A = this chain, B = another copy of it.
Amino acid sequence: MDKFFNPTSIAIIGASRNPDKVGHVILNNLLKANFPGKLYPINPSADALKNIKCYPSVLDVKNKIDLAIIVVPASIALKAVEDCGKKNIKHMIMVTAGFSETGNHDLENKLLVLLNKYKIQLLGPNVLGVFNTHSNLDTLFLPSSRIHRPQKGYISFICQSGAVGSATVDLFSSQGFKFSKFVSYGNALNVNETDLIEYLGNDSKTKVICLYIEGVRNGKKFIEVCKKVSKKKPIIMIKGGLTTTAARATLSHTASLAGSGKVYEGALKQANIIQASTLSEMFNFAKLLSKNKKPKGRKVQVITNGMGYAVLSMDYIELNNLEASTLSKKTLDTLKKKLPPLVNVDNPLDLIGDADNKRYKLALEACVKDSNVDIILLITLFQTPLIDERLTEMISKIYKSSKKPIAIVATGSKFTQDNIKQLEKKGIPCFSFPDEAVAAIRALCEYHLN
């Protein structure tokens, strides 16, 4: 499986000089990503593409090829696969569509015969491709003007739907969200979601696995593998097609039978898979769960400079089955002595609108030390004039030395966004609203405490 994510040589079968063609875009993207391995564009009517020597067929390449990306039309795709088989290429990404997803089961069956004959592992057909930030691999067939490319990170995303994958990677990566690997697996002819989860379970560059899945091929094996993998790292999943209204749609989309929500829920719990109900929730969960901080319990302390946000946070804490922590007597005494009399030393700990960086430092340090507190929800509304960029420096120092999970909530435009970027750059998880942060904390507790 590793050859899909860390190949040292790639053949692009159907590479093209026409910039509108998928075979051109993929070659271009691999070059733009600075892919360090060898590239072999396959095109019988070109000598070179982008200054790289072209070959009429993979059989004309003398060196070993790890991975073939096939983009030629379905009508001639089998011939390309046959050539790859003869060339002893064992890994293949089939971008080409027009197989079972369009009703052409006959062609797909013929493809499967070839894969078995040559013992080829195939991603697809009908896939968007693979992205690995750690090996500069980018086989997505859409240009960067349409899909923003992610920075190096530790969250991997396995996605049954190319559209869900391209839209979310585009949005979240542009917001600074970092990915390790992204893979769209299309019709899953002989490599499926379970194989990919198993591989990422052993991947040192993946800390959290996100899944968008409409249906699993082999439910029993899926649960078995997820049970094992989720002991090592969190798996977060959004299941498309939970309801009967969606059932017909999943059937025509990925030939998946939509399961009843309850059945799935039970199975996912068994495998300790965290269920997300929306795409943004999934990525918010992943953000918090990818940090190496485990809560000892579910007692949350809220620190704020805006009480309305804290009131909402307390609501969400109860609604998410978390607890509000009660500060120890020692913390109460220390903070009451050091903070101005108007500050309400309690939970929420309201530093009020004229809070400055120093007030935040006192509060955060005290809560990190207090063993009555398991998790800190730190609300920093940057609209108030007495906090500034230095606050992010201070938070980052304390965050680094603390074992406790800390989640930041900040809502706002440019000034806030600049500060959030600084915090995120330092690895501190930030959320736009209290509900998002508290739901992520619930997922964190679900994973570590259940």
Contacts and interface: CB of A to CB of B under 8 A. Distances in A.
Interface of A: 20, 102, 142-143, 145-148, 159-168, 170-171, 173-174, 212, 214, 238, 240-246, 248-250, 252-254, 277-280, 304-312, 314-315, 317-319, 324, 342, 344, 346, 348, 350, 353, 381-385, 411-416, 432-433, 435
B161 A306 contact: yes
Number of copies of this chain in the oligomer? 2
A143 B385 CA distance: 9
B171 A432 contact: yes
A245 B318 contact: yes
Given A244-B318, A312-B240, A432-B171, A146 B415 contact: yes
A314 B432 contact: no
A315 B240 contact: yes
A171 B416 contact: yes
A249 B146 contact: no
Contacts of A306: 161-164, 166-167
B318 A246 contact: yes
A147 B344 CA distance: 26
Contacts of A165: 308
Given A253-B307, A307-B161, A346-B248, A383 B314 contact: no
B142 A308 contact: no
Given A148-B414, A174-B413, A163 B315 contact: no
Given A346-B248, A348-B249, A413 B171 contact: yes
Given A20-B385, A411-B168, A240 B311 contact: yes
B435 A147 contact: no
Given A314-B243, A433-B279, A308 B413 contact: no
A237 to B, nearest CB: 13
Given A170-B412, A253-B307, 13 more contacts: A142-B383, A146-B415, A148-B414, A162-B353, A163-B305, A164-B306, A166-B381, A167-B309, A170-B383, A242-B315, A249-B348, A252-B344, A253-B308
